[in-house]
Amino acid sequence: MSRKPGSPPTSSIPGNSRNSPMTFFYKVGQILCIAIWATAIYNLLLPFPGIWYTIALYFLIIMVVIHLAEWLVLRRRLDQLGCQGGGTFLKVFIFGFFWWLPILLEGRKNADGLNPAEAAND
């Protein structure tokens, strides 16, 4: 797909275009993560009745373990891409791959020598 000289590049890489379907997917995923965390924390403060308490508690434990594992596995790669510090840990811990996947995809395309606009057209 070619573009006119002087026109801004378009990209389907997540996070690069506000109108891309993948950007919408990642934003919805982040909202769902916040809702899940809020539900799990609410369950700790005011326990749900019956089996729902146990289900929500196990779900919270699984989320904590998975997100900690994600951060341990990806922290060096995210540091290489310029994402450092406590903010990175917090974002990975809360949003998981809905936050880091667009960053890694963009970093991979840039490492291949393509700018994101050219990579989207391949």
Confidence at residue 19, expressed as pLDDT on a 0 to 100 scale: 61
Q: Which of 82 and 112 is assigned the larger pLDDT? A: 82
Per residue in 1-59, pLDDT (tens digit) is 443 443 333 343 444 555 677 788 888 989 999 999 999 999 999 999 999 999 999 98
The pLDDT of residue 47 is 92
Which burial class, exposed, middle or buried, applies to 63 when counting CB atoms under 10 A from its CB (0-12, 13-18, 19+)?
middle
Q: Where are the domains of the chain?
A: 21-113
8 A C-beta contact, residue 36 and residue 59: yes
Look at 32-46, 78-92, 108-122 and tell me which has the smallest mean pLDDT.
108-122
Predicted confidence band of residue 68 (pLDDT cuts 50, 70, 90): very high
Give the C-alpha separation, 99 to 55, whole Å.
25
